[in-house]
Structure 1
Amino acid sequence: MSFGLASCGPAENDPGPGGVTVGEARALDDAAEMLDERQANPDAATRKADQAAADAVAQGER
């Protein structure tokens, strides 16, 4: 049963919108969301680089 669920949805390297892979499109969406957050919250732009990197890793694990 879990095998059937694992095959649902596109794989990371399947073609996605705009000629990029699904994984690349997801990464671009995450980066855009992070930039939008920084514009909405100026304090987010002044956080330490290592905290921002930790946030990016955490978002990638969702």
Structure 2
Amino acid sequence: MIRILASLAACLFPGLLLAACGGSDTDPGPGGVTVGEARALDEAAEMLDQQRLPAAALEEPETPQTPAP
């Protein structure tokens, strides 16, 4: 029984060590923001890029002509 628990622990221990190696969202990131904030800003920028305006929305409206008195 102890031998089985020891081999199970030997298999799980490296996995636990590797899981602890990842960076945290609160670690400092680029531009004075945290890693989590930088990821959120990148995701927001990508969402905005995907929502492009139609060409008609970019055209300048015609100025109305007012009749001369």
After TM superposition, the score normalised by the length of structure 1 is 0.56
Structure 1 unaligned regions, length at least 5: 43-62
Provide runs of 4+ in structure 1 moved above 3 Å. Answer: none
Match in the other structure for 2:48: 35
Match in the other structure for 1:24: 37
Superposed CA offset, 1:20-53 (max 9, x none): 00000000000001001111x86xxxxxxxxxxx
Q: Distance in 2 between matches of 1:38 and 1:4?
A: 41
Residue identity (%): 66
Bigger CA radius of gyration: 2
Quick check: 1:4 aligned with 2:17? yes
CA RMSD in angstroms comes to 1.8
Which one has more relative contact order, counting CA pairs under 8 Å at least 6 apart? 1
Q: Which has the higher helix share?
A: 1
Structure 2 unaligned regions, length at least 5: 1-13, 55-69
